[in-house]
Amino acid sequence: MRRIAVLDAPTNLGLRPPTASSVPGCAKAPGALRDHDLLARLRARDAGCLTPPRYDPGDWRPGDGVCHAPEIAAYSAALADRIGAIIDRGEFPLLLGGDCSVLLGSALAMHRLGEAVGGRIGLVFVDGHSDFRHPGNASYVGAAAGEDLALVTGRGQADLAAIEGRRPYFRDIDVVVLGIRAQDEYRLDLQAAGITTRPVPALRAEGAARTAQWAHEQLADCAGYWVHIDVDVLDPAVMPAVDAPDPGGIAFAELEILLAGLVDTPHCLGVELTVFDPDYDPDGSYAAEIVNTVVAGLAPVSAPSATPPRLLPSGPVAPAPRPGNGRPANRRVLPSPVATPAPAVAVEPIGPAPTPSELADGDPAVSLAADVDSDEAPSAGTAGPGPLPPVGADEGDGPEQVGPGSGLLRRVSARDAAATPEPVGPPASAGPGLLRRVPVAEEGPTASTGNASSRPGIDIA
């Protein structure tokens, strides 16, 4: 059993200001999540808060390099110290960002740890965007939150990509990217670099549970791995409270299953959560949904059967070939225990119910897309994913309306699973669908979750 330690990293230094006279609101995220009893529900230790430097772009202009670079570098080194201290106590760090620039501090901590134990540490990067902009593929850089994956793999200016002379923090072959959109701007650059990816269409077709297992296998040569989660991996139809919402994401239930699968091994060393912006969540409903997902997703960490990581002492390791890829296996952590399956999830259809064959392949919470290859348009007469509509319009207490063709699925609590599903909205054509949690205490028509189209996306380039 591993105790979770929650550390706040409320930095917004890696983002551009939403308007000329405002600052990004994601610095408020840790407090908003704590307000929903996150620590008590996780039975976690409060590891405090690392206060970031002041947000002040000053007279920064394109071509000046990454904005706030000196401040981010100093903050990253201090954050790495705090993460390392948590791991040294045998605890599991849960880092509450803040923007995605917190990954630099986590990456620095993982590189230090890998050096100490004589092995490599990997990264599972769960994000709606690749964040792989760097001087080699862009005319200029500026916002570290849009460049964090490039920086932690050694691309970019040395004051951020090589803190303490460590470069890269993660090798390309030790990174797995999950949840980017099918047409991500830098997807071909990731492929050329040899970084393993599974965009949303493939993730949803394979299922969240099998995707987590697949990520384990990709990092089998590593001593352990860190998990980065940007909540913009979620579709804005269910989670619009981020700085750059982008349609085509996953659902809360899928993120919960994915997270549970990724942490259900002693090789997972910690998790960070980034980019939730409470400024776009005035009633706290999205914060509550994030907390529900995190608590359920991290259940395997604090379960009585959970095994803490036991890193072997530093020293030379005789490499052993791994069948299938020929790369040496330098694992420095003892084998993981038998994984505990994630709890079954009941789903209630909004539109047509999925067929048994769609749900019989080991991931009961996911409806499969009919066409996984997003580059090909659906043939005539075939229902494709189509644009995802907003879920509800927040008008009164009536039932939420979902337009035809959406194929959305609603999450149903275990207590309500035996009840006869009640159709919501007009019949919908078969599609990949999303899942939405229905709280245990919810009865009657579901409340609106807000209009995802009410706010334009913000370019963080």
Q: What is the mean pLDDT of residues 416-422?
A: 40
Per DSSP, what are the bridge partners of residue 44? Answer: none
In terms of residue numbers, what domain contains 53? 4-329
Quick one: 432 and 306 in the same domain?
no
Task: Report pLDDT for 60.
Answer: 94
- Residue 12's contacts (CB-CB under 8 Å, 6 or more residues apart) are 23, 24, 25, 26, 27, 52, 55, 98, 99
Residue 77 has pLDDT above 50, yes or no: yes
Instruction: Give the model's confidence band at 1: pLDDT under 50 very low, under 70 low, under 90 confident, else very high.
Output: confident
> What pLDDT sits at residue 71?
98
DSSP string, 369-405: PS---TTSPPPTT-----PPPPS----TTSPP---TT
Average pLDDT over the chain, rounded to an integer: 77
Give the model's pLDDT for residue 304: 73
Q: Is 326 left (phi over 0), alpha (psi -120 to 50) or beta?
A: left
pLDDT for res 96: 98
In the chain, count of helices (H) and strands (E)?
13, 13
In a domain, 368, yes or no: yes
Residues 237 and 382 in one domain: no
Q: What pLDDT band is residue 73 in, cutting at 50, 70 and 90?
A: very high
**Looking at residue 9, what is its pLDDT?**
98
Q: pLDDT tens for residues 50-60?
A: 999 999 999 99
pLDDT exceeds cutoff 70 at 252: yes
371-409, pLDDT tens digit by residue? Answer: 333 343 333 443 344 443 343 333 333 333 333 333 333
Give the pairing of strands 328-329 and 320-321: antiparallel
Residue of 321 and 268 predicted with greater confidence: 268
Q: What is the pLDDT of residue 448?
A: 35
Q: Assess if residue 206 is contained within a domain.
A: yes
Whether 158 and 266 map to the same domain: the answer is yes
Among the candidates 297, 329, 361, a domain finishes at 329
Pick the closest to residue 167 from 154, 157, 155 (CA basis).
154
pLDDT at position 86: 98
Q: Of the candidates 266, 299, 329, which is a domain's last residue?
A: 329
The burial class, CB within 10 Å (0-12 / 13-18 / 19+), for 46 is exposed
User: How many domains is the chain partitioned into structurally?
Assistant: 2
Q: Are residues 358 and 409 in the same domain?
A: yes
**Of 24-33, 92-101, 363-372, minimum mean pLDDT range:** 363-372
Q: Phi, psi (5° rounding) for residue 224?
A: 175, 180
One domain for residues 320 and 371? no
> Is position 335 within any domain?
no
Report if residue 460 sits inside a domain: no
Q: What average pLDDT score do residues 138-154 get? A: 97
Q: What is the pLDDT of residues 262-314, one digit of tens each?
A: 999 999 999 999 999 999 999 999 999 999 999 999 999 987 766 666 554 33
- Identify whether residues 190 and 228 lie together within a single domain: yes
Tell me which of 288, 303, 329 is where a domain ends: 329
pLDDT at 72: 98
Instruction: Mean pLDDT check: name the lowest of 72-81, 224-233, 440-449.
Output: 440-449
CATH number assigned to the domain comprising residue 80: 3.40.800.10
Based on the domain organization, do 279 and 393 belong to the same domain?
A: no
Residues 147 and 208 in one domain: yes
Q: What is the pLDDT of residue 303?
A: 79
pLDDT of residue 307: 60
